[in-house]
Structure 1
Amino acid sequence: MSVALPTVDAMDVILVPGLWLDAASWDAVLPALREAGHRVHPLTMPGVGEPASEIGIADWVAAVASRVDEFDAPVALVGHSGGGNVVWGATDARPDRIARVVFVDSVPPAPGRGISEFEVVDGVVPFPGWDHFPDEDVYDLDDATRARTAPLALSVPARVPTDPIDLTDPRRFTVPVTLLMGGLDQASFEKAISEWGPYAEEFGAIEDTEVVKLGTGHWPQFSKPDVLAQEIVAALDR
């Protein structure tokens, strides 16, 4: 059942998927964003689903920065999971061109940190399967959703998850940030991140932040796309 969303000032919104996902992973979210008046641009990142290559996180950041350069007005960036590293890197690269960054169950990475480590097979990182993830991440993906989405997951270049993110421009801290967290509200997130060392320092340096609890697992674009779309629209309207 769709949720009626308010119409807000139109904005170009670049949607960056997490690991193993492509532009199609946003398909269930796009109609509601368009209904709200936004121009949406879901991306497939370089090297996804392709043979082994030397593509790294810097290439993903550069791909998003290049898309940002195509628009006259500042844009919004939305990054899911590991895509959060990418959109924050692009914000660092184009701080005066970003109106807001929305992290979907992700956080702004600290300088020099990677996404995570996964098994490399033949020079790429294949999707490890839904059973690889803890229950808190996948509890709201029913059997039908898992069966439908697992075949759509694609390999990513081996370096992308582990390459350190390069962040050098302090102007990134002036860009408003919204965190749409699956299971954490503002208070619980602030308690959790206080124990994450440099991640706490990075988040604490951002001038304008908010945390919204979605009440979902790690993949709300599959489990509750209407809720995710509603909260993205709300964030863009702030």
Structure 2
Amino acid sequence: MTTMTNEPPVLLVAGHWLGAWAWDEVVEHLGAAGRRTLPMTLPGLDAADPERASKTLDDQVAAIEAAMEQAAGPQGETVVLVAHSGANGPVTRVLDRHPEKVRRVVWVDSGPVGPGSVFAPDLPDSVVELPLPPFEALGQFASLEGLSGEVLDRFRARAVPEPGPVVRQAVELTDEARQQVPTTLVCCSMRGAQVMELAAAGHPMFAEVAKLEHVDVVDLPTGHWPMWSRPADLARVLLDCLGTEQG
């Protein structure tokens, strides 16, 4: 299908341990609908990079900024950022630095983080990287619903350990204009109504959600990795989000 040039480019950023490959099925559906997509592998998550374990949150932010410039092209188009799970750290920082360059941010079973947030604040400096935990342990913190044994095997085989500097670095934020960027929350392992209730109640995990000025909530019931458990449905949700950004 011919790509529609009047629609914003879409940057897809997966969470911890994942690269651009995690979006393959979703990209296929979006491409069939004519959408311009750019799935990303953040610095530190390229298994072929011999220096990947030394990458920082700053490196990941810089990579997203470079990808935005590439996607924006000579006309300086604004982009749609789609962030899954642990991509919320670098993507929140990008929103803070460049709110005017983002047409919409779509959080996939994720959401913005607050200033000073650190993913693993107690991780000793001696720990070089954080590997994918055993699924028994991971499932206690993130739902594996909808993932077949084949998918889990692929996840294990392709997962790349998260660099220690990334998970120890605090998220620095300075510009509240990030809260004005139109936002969609795609809620998978927790229903949207519950997320908004917790945000309204001041739960620290959802404190930034309560500050958003333009937020839409979409339920996509499944586990924490909907790009694998419900890829066609996730693509359809994204297309619905992107439909509001035409013109």
TM-score (normalised: structure 1)? 0.88
Q: 1:129: Cα distance to partner?
A: 3.0
Give the 3-state SS of the residue equivalent to 1:127 in structure 2: coil
The residue aligned with 1:86 is 90
CA distance in 2 between partners of 1:115 and 1:195 (Å): 22
Match of 1:35 among 11, 32, 35: 32
1:227-238 alignment runs, 5 A limit: 227-238=233-244
Aligned residues: 232
Amino acid at match of 1:182: C
Per-residue CA deviation, residues 25-54 of structure 1 (Å, 9 max, x unaligned), is 100100111222211001111121345643
CA distance in 2, matches of 1:27, 1:117: 32
Equivalence for 1:220: 226
Using the aligned pairs only, state the percent identity: 31
- The aligned residue for residue 126 of structure 1 is 131
Corresponding letter in the other structure for 2:34:
G
CA distance in 1, matches of 2:122, 2:41: 20
CA distance in 2, matches of 1:195, 1:154: 36
- Structure 1 gaps of 5+ residues are 1-6
Partner Cα separation in structure 2 for residue 79 and residue 193 of structure 1: 19
* Letter of the 1:204 counterpart: A
Kept in 2, the 8 Å contact 1:52–1:123? The answer is no
Q: Distance in 1 between matches of 2:210 and 2:105?
A: 15
Aligned Cα root-mean-square deviation (Å): 2.3
Give per-residue Cα distances to partners, 1:174-197, cap 9 Å, x unaligned: 110111111333321112334554
Asked whether 1:193 is paired with 2:190, we answer: no
Amino acid of the structure 2 residue aligned with 1:162: R
Q: Which residue of 1 aligns with 2:184?
A: 178
- Match for residue 11 of structure 1? 8
SS at match of 2:165: coil
1:118 Cα deviation from its structure 2 partner:
8.7
Aligned mates of 2:79, 2:61 — CA distance in 1: 15
> For residues 129 and 117 of structure 1, do their structure 2 counterparts lie closer, same or farther at Cα, with a shift above 3 Å needed?
farther
Q: TM-score, normalising length from structure 2?
A: 0.85
Moved more, 35-44 or 126-135: 126-135
Could you list the per-position Cα deviations for residues 148-173 of structure 1 after superposition, in whole angstroms to 9, with x for gaps in the alignment? 22101111211212321111112111
Asked if the contact 2:195/2:206 (under 8 Å) is kept, the reply is: no
* Structure 2: gaps of 5 or more residues: none
